[in-house]
Amino acid sequence: MRNKLMNIFLVAAVMLMLGGCRIPAMPSDLITAPNAVDDGDEMHTSLLALLPDGARLLTMPDGNPNNGISYGDLDGDGQNEAIVVYEEEVGRQRTLKAALLMRRQEAWQIVWHGEGSGHGLDYAGIRDIDRDGAAEILLGWSLGAGVNGLDIYEWDKGTLKLQDRKGYHESIELREMMN
């Protein structure tokens, strides 16, 4: 009987040592957005390389293949610029950011960056919504409780300037604003 108790104790001790008693990871540390970048896509890779270390590309809820990267001719020079929307984590602080990149001398360069609002990306795109012949950057942010905010930027004298801010509740309202 004594040997049987000793064997049970030894088996239990080995199981505890192998299983460990670690503190489980926080759910926010385990959940990350899917990587929307195809490793074979050189342009995406070169754009992402310019972002700060640890930056993660944001994804839109509709599964748009571009997700946090949108292309369009913003300054009217015939070449596409890129707007990249990402989150940067410093310690436990998470900040939503956007960067405008332009090709200069065959290399992408960040020419503007700004901070986002809310807790996620709802929409990112480059479109001429006021029909003046010049495209604007549209950044839709998820603010919570079904409310979203749209920041509209325009290219003016070598930089982006906030043209307007609008609130909307659903993607239908956003599409109506863009039509």
Residues 6+ apart with CB under 8 A from 80: 71, 72, 73
The overall average pLDDT reported for the chain is: 82
Domain contains 159: yes
Q: What is the pLDDT of residue 32?
A: 53
Which residues, in sequence order, are bridge partners of residue 142? 120, 148
Q: Structure pTM?
A: 0.72
Domain contains 173: yes
User: Cα(176)–Cα(164) distance, rounded to whole angstroms?
Assistant: 16
- Which CATH number characterizes residue 140's domain? 2.40.128
Task: Calculate the CA dihedral of residues 102, 105, 107, 111 and round it to 10 degrees.
Answer: -30
Q: 10-19, 28-37, 56-65, 160-169: which range is least confident on average?
A: 28-37
Q: In the chain, how many domains are there?
A: 1
Please answer whether residues 113 and 96 qualify as being in contact, where contact means their C-beta atoms are separated by less than 8 angstroms.
no
The per-residue pLDDT for range 3-13, each reduced to its tens digit, is 887 778 777 77
Domain contains 141: yes
SS3 90: strand
* pLDDT band of 66, cuts 50, 70, 90: low
HEC profile of 37-78: CCCCCHHHHHHHHCCCCCCEECCCCCCCCCCCEEEECCCCCC
Domain contains 149: yes
Domain contains 92: yes
Domain contains 35: no
Burial, 138: exposed, middle or buried (Cβ in 10 Å; 0-12, 13-18, 19+)? Answer: buried
Please answer whether residues 51 and 84 qualify as being in contact, where contact means their C-beta atoms are separated by less than 8 angstroms.
yes
Domain contains 7: no
How many residues appear in the chain? Answer: 179
Q: What is the pLDDT of residue 93?
A: 86
pLDDT at 128 over 50: yes
Domain that holds residue 149: 45-178
